[in-house]
């Protein structure tokens, strides 16, 4: 899906006062990152490292694993498409609702796809497939999977691709990193853009056994991660703790926002373990609500009607600053007054 994601305000023109459509941290990039990148600006006069070797080493050291278990990628999207290419033609299960690129990548590479709802997965079913894509915490619901290790253990014939792009935003979520050595059927995807507010740089990485990484490297294009992104990644891991947003504070703000939105009789607000959450408008539909908020309040939301297993009434909200959250609360009250 080339279009239909969040953070698409550029398509509409005009000023946007508050962008709730993207689940990237609402603050700015880590302090000092911009200055560091420009100090290394001369790097753009040369080709970047072919596979991001310097950043690979820093990520491996951070996680305490060998370099050959890391693959640096041009955002999680490149990771998804590489994995889909590696397993071309296989039978694949996608846990839904889900990021559309899992399905698009699998369709591009001839997978036989089946879709399994999140609630069905909680029963830990036995699977008949080669590959599983699951996002934990889930995007767009924000739910965390309670017993993912056990599900892998009883389905060792399936390779599980676990997307942990939002793992830092959900303290209740257990990362599969600690279990990496226990499972040969595990591939983990991580993102550096969400918590560090640098989605425009496109930067992520894969963690897996060295055999999987070697196979992915054989089909990876050279120089897919540019020099600016590599410099940013190295800076982040050199200043990792300082680069992290205040996750606990963000979740407190999310709880306050959802509590207040639940007072709006025109909305249904769903639970979430992260800073973003799903909601439903019980009047009209999410596309109409998105237009109303854009045109009358310069506020952008994520119409979630194009996610499998969701409805035309669903939309996704990511928590912003208290001041911007207040703008949304008032705008949604205006929506209720207009149409309820």
Say yes or no: 21 and 105 in one domain: no
Count CB-CB contacts under 10 A for residue 109: 17
Q: Is the dihedral of CA 202, 77, 60, 151 positive or negative?
A: positive
Considering the domain boundaries, does residue 128 fall inside one?
yes
pLDDT band for position 72 (cuts 50, 70, 90): very high
Is 305:202 a contact under the CB 8 Å cutoff? no
Considering the domain boundaries, does residue 2 fall inside one?
no
Across 246-274, average pLDDT: 97
| pLDDT, the chain, mean | 95
Considering the domain boundaries, does residue 3 fall inside one?
no
Distances (CA, A) of 10 to 15, 82, 95, 293: 9, 28, 30, 15
Compute φ and ψ for 266, nearest 5 degrees.
-90, 0
Across 158-178, average pLDDT: 94
Residue 284 CB-half CA count within 13 A? 14
Place of tokens 């070697």: 214
**C-alpha to C-alpha distance for 100 and 4, rounded to whole angstroms:** 9
**Orientation of helix 227-238 relative to helix 53-63, angle to 10°:** 20
Considering the domain boundaries, does residue 4 fall inside one?
no
Residue 3 has what pLDDT? Answer: 42
Considering the domain boundaries, does residue 37 fall inside one?
yes
Say yes or no: 189 and 257 in one domain: no
Q: Return the CATH number at 145.
A: 3.40.640.10
Residue 248 has what pLDDT? Answer: 95
Say yes or no: 177 and 326 in one domain: no
Considering the domain boundaries, does residue 135 fall inside one?
yes
Say yes or no: 218 and 260 in one domain: no
Say yes or no: 124 and 210 in one domain: yes
Say yes or no: 172 and 294 in one domain: no
Q: What is the pLDDT of residues 181-227, one digit of tens each?
A: 999 999 999 999 999 999 999 999 999 999 999 999 999 999 999 99
Say yes or no: 115 and 173 in one domain: yes
Q: Assess whether pLDDT exceeds 50 at residue 2.
A: no
Q: Return the CATH number at 310.
A: 3.90.1150.10
Is 236:61 a contact under the CB 8 Å cutoff? no
Across 47-61, average pLDDT: 97
Considering the domain boundaries, does residue 311 fall inside one?
yes
pLDDT band for position 294 (cuts 50, 70, 90): very high
Q: What is the pLDDT of residues 113-149, one digit of tens each?
A: 999 999 999 999 999 999 999 999 999 999 999 999 9
pLDDT band for position 328 (cuts 50, 70, 90): very high
Is 97:224 a contact under the CB 8 Å cutoff? no
Widest distance between CA atoms in the chain: 59
Residue 125 has what pLDDT? Answer: 96
pTM: 0.94
Residue 75 has what pLDDT? Answer: 95
Say yes or no: 188 and 315 in one domain: no
Residue 24 has what pLDDT? Answer: 94
Decide which of 191, 224, 242 is a domain's last residue: 242
Residue 9 has what pLDDT? Answer: 65
**C-alpha to C-alpha distance for 30 and 241, rounded to whole angstroms:** 10
**C-alpha to C-alpha distance for 130 and 173, rounded to whole angstroms:** 25
Number of domains in the chain: 2
Considering the domain boundaries, does residue 1 fall inside one?
no
Q: Assess whether pLDDT exceeds 90 at residue 45.
A: yes
Across 48-70, average pLDDT: 98
Find the Cα–Cα–Cα–Cα dihedral 35, 228, 189, 132, rounded to 10°: 140
Across 91-118, average pLDDT: 96
Three-state DSSP string of 240-271: HHHHCCCHHHHHHHHHHHHHHHCCCCCEEECC
Q: Is 163 left (phi over 0), alpha (psi -120 to 50) or beta?
A: beta
Say yes or no: 137 and 200 in one domain: yes
Compute φ and ψ for 93, nearest 5 degrees.
-105, 130
Least confident of 127-131, 177-181, 319-323: 177-181
Say yes or no: 266 and 176 in one domain: no
Across 16-32, average pLDDT: 94
Distances (CA, A) of 3 to 6, 7, 100, 296: 9, 10, 10, 23
Q: Assess whether pLDDT exceeds 80 at residue 7.
A: no
pLDDT band for position 8 (cuts 50, 70, 90): low
Which uninterrupted H or E stretch holds 216?
A: helix 210-219
Say yes or no: 224 and 329 in one domain: no
Share of the chain above pLDDT 70, in %: 96
Give me the domain span that covers residue 186: 33-242
Decide which of 207, 242, 277 is a domain's last residue: 242
Q: What is the β-pairing status of strands 299-300 and 131-135?
A: unpaired
Decide which of 226, 242, 258 is a domain's last residue: 242
pLDDT band for position 340 (cuts 50, 70, 90): confident
pLDDT band for position 15 (cuts 50, 70, 90): confident
Three-state DSSP string of 74-125: CHHHHHHHHHHHHCCCCEEEEEECCCHHHHHHHHHCCCEEEEEEHHHHCCCC
Say yes or no: 215 and 261 in one domain: no
């Amino acid at each position: 899906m080339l279009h239909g994601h969040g953070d698409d305000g550029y398509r509409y023109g005009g000023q946007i006062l508050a962008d709730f459509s993207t689940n990237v941290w609402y603050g700015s990039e880590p302090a000092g990152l911009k200055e560091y990148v420009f100090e290394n600006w001369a790097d753009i006069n040369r080709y970047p490292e072919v596979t991001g070797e310097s950043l690979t080493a820093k990520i491996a050291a951070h996680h305490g694993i060998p370099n050959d278990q890391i693959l640096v990628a041009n955002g999680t999207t490149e990771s998804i498409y590489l994995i889909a290419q590696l397993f071309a033609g296989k039978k694949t299960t996608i846990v839904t609702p889900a990021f559309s690129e899992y399905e698009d990548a699998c369709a591009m590479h001839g997978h036989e796809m089946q879709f399994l709802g999140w609630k069905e997965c909680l029963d830990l079913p036995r699977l008949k497939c080669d590959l599983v894509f699951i996002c934990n915490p889930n995007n767009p619901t924000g739910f965390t999977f309670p017993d993912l290790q056990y599900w892998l253990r009883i389905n060792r014939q399936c390779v599980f691709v676990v997307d942990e792009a939002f793992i830092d935003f959900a303290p209740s979520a257990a990362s599969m990193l600690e279990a990496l050595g226990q499972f040969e059927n595990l591939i983990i995807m991580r993102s550096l853009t969400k918590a560090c507010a640098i989605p425009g740089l496109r930067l992520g990485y894969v963690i897996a056994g060295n055999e999987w990484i070697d196979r992915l490297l054989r089909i990876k294009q050279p120089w897919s991660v540019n020099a600016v992104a590599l410099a940013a990644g190295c800076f982040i891991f050199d200043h990792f703790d300082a680069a992290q947003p205040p996750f606990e504070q963000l979740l407190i703000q999310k709880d306050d926002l959802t509590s207040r939105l639940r007072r709006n009789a025109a909305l249904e607000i769903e639970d979430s373990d992260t800073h973003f959450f799903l909601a439903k408008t019980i009047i009209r539909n999410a596309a109409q609500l998105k237009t109303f908020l854009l045109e009358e309040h310069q506020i952008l939301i994520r119409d979630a009607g194009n996610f499998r297993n969701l409805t035309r009434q669903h939309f996704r909200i990511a928590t912003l600053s208290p001041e911007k959250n207040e703008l949304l609360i008032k705008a949604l009250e205006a929506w209720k007054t207009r149409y309820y």
